Chains A and B, each alone.
Chain A
Amino acid sequence: MKPKDATAARRGVPPTDISNPNYFHKIVDCQWACPTHTPVPEYIRLIAQARYTDAFMLNWESNVFPGILGRTCDRPCEPACRRGRLDEKPVAICRLKRVAADYKGDIEHRLPKVPKRKNGKRIALIGAGPASLTVARDLMPLGYRCVLIEKDPQGGGLMRSNIPRFRLPESVLDEEVDRIVDMGLETRYGQEVASLKSVLDEDFDAVFVGTGAPRGKDLQITGREAGAANIHIGIDWLSSIAFGHADSIGKRVVVIGGGNTAMDCCRTALRVGGKDVRVTVRSPRKDMKASEWEIEDAEKEGVPIFDNHAPQEFIVENGKLTGVRFAKMKAEYDEAGKRTLVPTGEEVVFECDDVLMAIGQDNALPWIERDIGISFNEWDMPVVDGTTMQSTRPNVFFGGDAAWGPENIIWAVAHGHQAAISIDLFCKGQSLSNRLAPGASLVSQKMGIHEWSYDNDFSGDRRVPVPHADNQKALKDLDVEVELGYDDRLAFQEAERCLNCDVQTVFERDLCIECDACMDVCPVDCINFTFNADEANLRERLRVPAANEEQDLYVSDALKTGRVMAKDEDLCLHCGLCAERCPTGAWDMQKFTYVEAQASPSCAAYSTSYLR
């Protein structure tokens, strides 16, 4: 640093360290928000090029279940999408993922090879949900023998028992579960583990617990016992429908709860005999836990949602449930914004034949002995290391809902990857902190004077709605998939909405002549040349004040005039106009690639090929 720079740096925000991969990774909002850090913009570009198989492989390597997730993911990426902050709705990332899965070609030869000669280590995986299946996928190419133990007759866990077929066709689920089972996974379906000790006694080298949160919460109010025959725990009822143990429900159904399970319950009820199905929620509608799109779908099928309704009593007459009495509530907020629900005094009775309760889930680990070295915390949850997924007993690992309470599939996959890395290190006798850093690279996309290797033009199109099956037809059959998915034309249109946030604006201070061209051309006014100051002051003084503090400022070292370049990353379109208007190449558009390390490098071979 020259003396002048040193002074400037002392005075204000220090120059941004872009050699830290987290800086650019954070700008790729979707990838950063995704628990498995799937390279979203990269696979969306591949979809736009109709390279569906390649797009699928990028997905499969990181999130293992692209077909399933492309239909059911909780999509933390979409609320994070820059596009949502800019004009209207985020890119339909989840539905584009489905496109990759639906239109892919043969991938058999691209899957990691499982060695015939094993490494001599045996791993037990308890529960056949996404967490365990991910551990198996990651470990088997290394020669581990994996044994999957599951109480249900088939694999898939809650993906099979709780997600209705009209959202996730069985063929899609089977394909993605079988892809892992066919790697040579030993399965013990229909075997419920009653004692962890007995599993440990089989001398496995390590045990992974991925049993989810399978116990639906109950509501102990008057009439619960008396009306038991027609009061069902939501997830148990969904499960009995999924496995064919039940195939009907009464005409009038009251669903209690406002989460995604409640939405699955009401929509399933409509398909197995329910005519008057209503959802009731204690809280105001805006606080409902269900994803916005799942509420939309339920309402579209004709399910009314009654918010601010707190159940008080199951009304049972002559030994039969006849209705539910609710107290109407209203939300009051104190000065800190903390909500309290208070009764308005008004009450209402909804007559019904059946009640479905979907008010939350707990994990259930009574089968784990408390004297085998596994510590439990004050909430009766196992004590698990957040990075390694290891319990207090070194050879037992946890992941997914079993470890962290009800989350969603994509988190379970992320835990599975980390657990697999830990199990591999553990079996090799290495320290669990000996984890490989993620791979990252930054490569210029310049092809010519105004040509880039990505489509930098901005598409002003609105989010493309996904075509749905005809309502009448869909409501008749539990197996008719409601969402039809994009065709190639719609997929292209939606893919073009992606801003390519992984193609980064990289600034080279020494080349800048401070001509202002980039600042003047930027369509969203994110580039500034100004005097440095502390961050709050600097944010306030930009062309458009940088109000979104979750998004970083990219600040250069002092320039010749003593000013700095300060870019608010918040709404950058990644259109490359700054780099096109720069006469000296001080700005360049460089593609940032980020690949998480996995237990088996062959499971990330295609993703890794993008690193330069």
Chain B
Amino acid sequence: MYVAVKGGEAAIDNAHRLLADRRRGDRAVPALTLDQIAGQLALAVDRVMAEGSLYDRRLAALAVKQARGDLIEAIFLLRAYRTTLARFGYSEPLDTGAMLVERRISACHKDLPGGQLLGPTFDYTHRLLDEGLDGDASVEAGKIRAGAAEKVVRVADILADEGLIEGDGLATGDGPGDINHTPVEFPLSRAMRLQSLSRGDEGFLLALGYSTQRGYARSHPFAGEIRIGEVEVEVFLPELGFAVPVGRVQVTECQMVNQFKGSAKVPPQFTRGYGLVFGQSERKAMAMALCDRALRAEELGEDIVAPPQDQEFVISHCDNVQATGFVEHLKLPHYVDFQAELGLVRRMRAEYEARDREVAPVREAAE
């Protein structure tokens, strides 16, 4: 028998109205504009773009506002919106070597062509709360250093000259799989894993990356290079017959360099983990690169002994929209399921107590 239960419409309507009220808060305080969110909470917006897997600052800022700053909720909103848009195709691969660099550091080499460029970093701040930001004091512009532009050479290219680091390999030409269109089946190609990691939850990947450093999957990484900046996007238009520049996006790229003693398949050399994320998302790009390297265990002939090396574990659980959907669905009414389980537990309890009554007289006699 199926019994439809109705009701709750008024409660839901009023709850949503109350949500809107609480979101707006004190009407005497000016409402946030999207420009303020995109400009002044830029890294929150970047995280929402990266994990929402949709590069659009204004939409991400709107999502942050609508979600009252709950970033996973904002990511959910952006993913939902993304499903409503037509897909026009694929870009040409981004050339991160041609980036307009806003930050580039390497922990491997002190002196390198292009230099160590700190950019707008939290590093070396003392992490002391700045009471001066409680207000709108004027802020100085960044300093300028004139001089000819110097090419910011990729660290991987510098190391490659000695042959002690693995190369990027050649493209197979098959075209990478797309997790948007193909049901995930393990083992996944590295390209499809990277697609999944690039939109994966920062906290989850950070914890897994951290675990690899602490000994869960042997890993001895160096931050070979981290670079942040804008890259040109080109899209091939069949009606024109050539790739058209459509604008620029900001990305963060991380090259982790890992010591590798070699295996039956590979000589001793440095191997690499790779991270590439929308926006200024340094921690995420680093965590992604650590996880990418750990997930290459099978390819490099390493024993799979820890969760970060387990494709199915990492890829199946790194998407926070899927994760929050399944965890939060527990809030939905499960009245009938629970009634069924309640009946089952009552019956088991009755059987247990009946058995106990049979056993008890025997026990008393023995005493």
Do A and B originate from a single complex?
A: no
Give me the interface of B with A, judged by CB distance under 8 Å: none
